[in-house]
Structure 1
Amino acid sequence: MSTIALRDVAARARVSAGTVSNYLNHPHRVAPRTAARISSAIKELGYVSNHAARQLRIGSSTTIGHVTFEVGNHSFAEFSAGAAERAREVGFSILIGSDGGTVEGEAAHLDLFEAQRVRGLLLSPVGAFPKRRIEQLRDRGIPTVLVGARADTDTCSSVSFDEVAGGELVAGHLIEGGRRNLLFVGGPLGIETVADRLTGARQVVRRTPDARLEVIEVESRTVAIGRAVGLAIGRRPAGERPDGVFAANDALAIGIMNGLREAPGIVVPDDIAVVGYDDSDFGAGALVPLTSIARPGRQYGRTAMDLLHTAITRSDGRHSRVVFQPQLVVRRSSAAS
């Protein structure tokens, strides 16, 4: 199958190759009637522009790489929509690479995006802040904005969420509702956001003399794993069950409620209150509507892209750290009737 070239489009539209190039790169320079002929020729021939080659020629990419460990949850979808929306407004597009939740996968995607000469990176780190690697990318002309973790502002900007405060809100809400035997379900605890939520909960429990906090670490935060935890809780003797569960995300919380519903005699929230995190639509619409922590997902994404755009267009070396605050949305899963 032969490849349609730019010169073929030019011949069909009866213009020069330079005019077609202007149409693709600087459409405002092309007269409307000429632009219409070129557009028609492109559609008729099925021409696809070699965007990557053009970027190499002009020495500037319009692609942003986003390396993240979790693409299936509600908060990522909202963040991604906001970031992509803002990227389009400033002339960029975002390419997402999921690292599978491993440091090795993260490193491989950073290498891949560097090789592709992306213009900048959004990075949701799996583990510790990869300062040296980010400095290398910066020195090679690829600025990075850290997402969901606090950055050393000498190195790069970051946008994050006050996860400790979120954990405090959840534990405080459960304790104010009379719950004293709390259970935190989340993990891996090496992920900063999950660990910070647990830290916040622990701080509240320590201030409450008759409260206790059990921790179940899980390898991933899915409905299936949550259900397994809920079933395990249901098999415990009544006196050994928690009366309040803090799940590190809504998927876990929904799974836990599903598992508890299969245990005879356990009613959510009368016997066990359940609170999630991320305030997803499916949590709000669950059979027992889920109490959760809301995050301004789209604004979160737009802010991250704003910070990266600033890093791309400004070379003064200044960086910002933006921290969003949590909001507790109370529903029936934690409000006993």
Structure 2
Amino acid sequence: MALRCAMVTPTGADLSKLEGIATRGTPVMLVDREAGDHSLSSVTVDNVAGGRMALDHLIAGGCARPAFIGGPFTLPQVSDRARGARESAAQIGLDLSVFETDELTILAGRSIGERIVSLPENERPDAVFCANDLLAVGFMQAVIMFSGLRVPEDLAIIGYDDIDYAFSTIVPLTSVRQPADLLGRTAVESLLAENASGEQSHRDERFTPELVVRQSTRAG
């Protein structure tokens, strides 16, 4: 018997089409995204906790002017990571500068990096948390190519996702790692179980990310 199911990572806010697919009998699993009303099954990572984790690490390394880089904020993953970072900074009375990007790409990171390194020293962040590793890679390129700043001595950088390329950047990138294998395995197992039962019994699983420290940040 053929299996009918869908595993999706939405990039927009409107889930109505996916909800319609589920209503017609095809199990749908959201990956790295929750349905706020639990109308669809999901496997996610606690991105708010990941944002706090990133900022806590930067603060422990002595940063006094932290910044968050990411966007668009219509993406729940981006807004949640920024929210966690804000909470961490606020706990010790630090302001978190926010630089919004239109996309989560290396080119977007390099563009915002050129802008940031050109700021006066008293306005320039001394540590940045990028919403994903691609932004962080582009940002690091801008720092190294267009300034005399040192990573991490003058400007610490942390990313998110811990992609394969993160450890092989010019300065190996500290990142918040998502348990990708666990997410995928749990999503498939849940979909198979829902498909076998024939019932729309939605399951929500949330996992905790892990900080992977490399040379792009200062030791706490």
In terms of fraction of residues, the more helix-rich structure is 1
Contact 2:58 2:218 in 1 (8 A): no
1:281 match: 164
Task: State the 1:169 CA deviation.
Answer: 0.2
Give the superposed CA RMSD: 1.8
1:47 match: none
What does the per-residue CA deviation read over 1:174-222, in whole Å, with 9 as the maximum and x for residues that have no partner? 111110211111111101111100000011111112x111111111111
Name which one, 1 or 2, has greater alpha-carbon Rg. 1
1:323 match: 206
Q: Does 1:142 align with 2:26?
A: yes
2:111 match: 228
Query: Which of 151, 156, 160 is 2:44 aligned to?
Result: 160
2:90 match: 206
2:26 partner amino acid: I
User: Equivalent residue of 1:300, what SS?
Assistant: helix
Moved more, 153-162 or 213-222: 153-162
Aligned pairs for 1:112-131 within 5 A: 119-128=4-13, 130=15
Contact 2:31 2:183 in 1 (8 A): no
User: Equivalent residue of 2:88, what SS?
Assistant: helix
2:80 match: 196
2:137 match: 254
Contact 1:151 1:321 in 2 (8 A): no
Task: State the 1:288 CA deviation.
Answer: 0.5
Residue segments in structure 1 that go unaligned for 5+ positions in a row? 1-59, 63-118
Give the distance between the partners of 1:129 and 1:150, measured in 2 at CA: 12
Kindly tell me: are residues 279 and 140 of structure 1, through their superposed partners in 2, closer, same or farther at Cα, counting changes over 3 Å?
same
Residue segments in structure 2 that go unaligned for 5+ positions in a row? none
User: Equivalent residue of 2:146, what SS?
Assistant: coil
2:211 partner amino acid: L
Give the distance between the partners of 2:53 and 2:124, measured in 1 at CA: 22
User: Equivalent residue of 1:232, what SS?
Assistant: helix
Give the distance between the partners of 1:137 and 1:264, measured in 2 at CA: 51
1:301 match: 184
1:120 partner amino acid: C
What does the per-residue CA deviation read over 1:64-93, in whole Å, with 9 as the maximum and x for residues that have no partner? xxxxxxxxxxxxxxxxxxxxxxxxxxxxxx
Give the distance between the partners of 1:154 and 1:220, measured in 2 at CA: 27
What percent of counterpart residues are identical? 39
1:177 match: 61
Give the distance between the partners of 1:148 and 1:296, measured in 2 at CA: 11
Q: Does 1:270 align with 2:153?
A: yes
Kindly tell me: are residues 243 and 316 of structure 1, through their superposed partners in 2, closer, same or farther at Cα, counting changes over 3 Å?
same
Give aligned pairs, total. 220
What does the per-residue CA deviation read over 1:89-124, in whole Å, with 9 as the maximum and x for residues that have no partner? xxxxxxxxxxxxxxxxxxxxxxxxxxxxxx111121
TM-score for both structures, normalised by structure 1 = 0.62
Moved more, 225-234 or 286-295: 225-234
Give the distance between the partners of 1:304 and 1:219, measured in 2 at CA: 29
Kindly tell me: are residues 225 and 186 of structure 1, through their superposed partners in 2, closer, same or farther at Cα, counting changes over 3 Å?
same
What does the per-residue CA deviation read over 1:306-332, in whole Å, with 9 as the maximum and x for residues that have no partner? 111111111343221101111001111
Task: State the 1:154 CA deviation.
Answer: 5.2
Kindly tell me: are residues 153 and 120 of structure 1, through their superposed partners in 2, closer, same or farther at Cα, counting changes over 3 Å?
farther
Contact 2:46 2:209 in 1 (8 A): yes
Task: State the 1:152 CA deviation.
Answer: 5.1
- Greater relative contact order (Cα < 8 A, sep 6+): 2
1:126 partner amino acid: T
Task: State the 1:287 CA deviation.
Answer: 1.4
User: Equivalent residue of 2:160, what SS?
Assistant: coil
Contact 1:288 1:333 in 2 (8 A): yes
Give the distance between the partners of 1:230 and 1:152, measured in 2 at CA: 34
